[in-house]
A = this chain, B = another copy of it.
């Protein structure tokens, strides 16, 4: 059948129980359907300021410079790295999954000398080991992931920021997949820069990256402040350090745009800003601790259900992210065929894996708006039926019952 590219948009309803993107909260979709305002309309700049205030609470920080980058989660990552790293700077990446590789890759492209340590996939670092390395290496930047969906692991972060400050460096944490579903304390843990995305526990679409920066990080970035050609004010004070290689991701210029100066940079992606603001509102109205508990409960129920079905959970469960669970694909089962059947017959998406885990591990997400009891139970039931249909001897009925019991 030929498909007409002019056909009306009509996406089939899907239950998105993979590693993200996940189902968007209908209140966020409603916010995105609101009419636009001019970018310097006083009501619009107030919404920008609201968004800053709300994400301070989401990140548990008092950082003045808390805003959003107009791009997907990795836009936030690149903005941090390219704005702080000058060619030749040492960047240390403790790497325990695919997104650690991404940090190395972006830092290398920014000209950094990257030093990295690895831990086997499915495990995390002891923060004391990281602290020791920081003391010895004295890197300008330590860049690490909090929750790496590629392995489902959540890295403990306490003590690392303190070690960075003692060594005169900065700590950047990529909280894309963890924020809103796992505790994150930017100020208490002395994190200098932290970024996220909307499409995981924040129940929004991809395309806006919340970011927060400590004052000491901002001070370092502002040493590279250079005004844009064509709109440079007469009294512009330029920084002494080399200009940032990217215009779009130049955090010094972005702060001029988000700050009182309101110096034009890009045209803020208004609908995505509405989405980002609504995501934070919804999360804060529920309460951060309540949301963390909801994700933790879903995680416990998923673990109980998976084991009761006779399946194996992937990775070190003491350090599992609350919002995603790895399931080892049983021997003799074609993981992709099972996923395709889940999608086709049940309208449910679960995730495949990358790199060394490709085809070997499914990733079951329960995040944000989609992290609800009924969704988890329905998904376990559908997985069970799918495995039966694929000829696997499953302990029928046990998974859903065990998950339901865990919820009680």
On A, residues with C-beta under 8 Å from B are 3, 5-7, 9-14, 16, 18, 20-24, 29-39, 41, 43-44, 46-47, 49-51, 53-54, 70-75, 78, 82, 97-102, 104-106, 109-110, 150, 197, 199, 205-207, 228-231, 243-249, 264, 266-272, 274-275, 277-278, 281, 284-285, 343, 349, 354-355
Q: For A351, give the chain B residue with the smallest CB separation.
A: B38
Instruction: Say whether, besides A43-B11, A71-B248, A267-B20, A229 and B101 are in contact (CB < 8 Å).
Output: yes
Instruction: Say whether, besides A14-B35, A35-B23, A247 and B9 are in contact (CB < 8 Å).
Output: no
Contact across chains for A245 and B245 when beta carbons are under 8 A apart:
yes
Contact across chains for B18 and A38 when beta carbons are under 8 A apart:
yes
Instruction: Say whether, besides A267-B20, A269-B205, A248 and B35 are in contact (CB < 8 Å).
Output: no
Contact across chains for A272 and B78 when beta carbons are under 8 A apart:
no
Contact across chains for A11 and B44 when beta carbons are under 8 A apart:
yes
Given contacts A3-B50, A11-B34, A82-B246, 10 further A-B contacts (CB under 8 A): A9-B277, A11-B37, A23-B35, A29-B32, A33-B33, A71-B269, A78-B248, A99-B230, A105-B228, A245-B246
Instruction: Say whether, besides A36-B205, A228-B101, A228-B102, A21 and B267 are in contact (CB < 8 Å).
Output: yes
Contact across chains for B29 and A35 when beta carbons are under 8 A apart:
yes
Pick from B21, B97, B267, B269: contact of A36, CB below 8 A: B21
Pick from B46, B205, B281: contact of A6, CB below 8 A: B281
Contact across chains for A355 and B35 when beta carbons are under 8 A apart:
no
Q: Which residues of chain B come closer than 8 Å to A109, judged between CB atoms?
A: 243-247
> In the complex the two chains form, what is the Cα distance from A306 to B354 in whole Å?
60
The secondary-structure label for the interface of chain A is loop
Provide 29 A-B residue pairs closer than 8 Å at the C-beta atoms, listed in order of the A residue. Answer: A5-B49, A5-B54, A6-B54, A6-B284, A9-B47, A9-B274, A11-B43, A11-B47, A12-B43, A14-B41, A18-B38, A21-B36, A22-B36, A24-B271, A29-B32, A29-B34, A32-B271, A36-B205, A38-B349, A70-B207, A75-B266, A102-B228, A102-B247, A109-B245, A109-B246, A205-B270, A231-B355, A271-B271, A271-B272
CB distance from A138 to the nearest CB of B (A): 24
Pick from B54, B231, B248, B268: contact of A98, CB below 8 A: B231
Contact across chains for B247 and A105 when beta carbons are under 8 A apart:
yes
Q: Which residues of chain B come closer than 8 Å to A199, judged between CB atoms?
A: 267
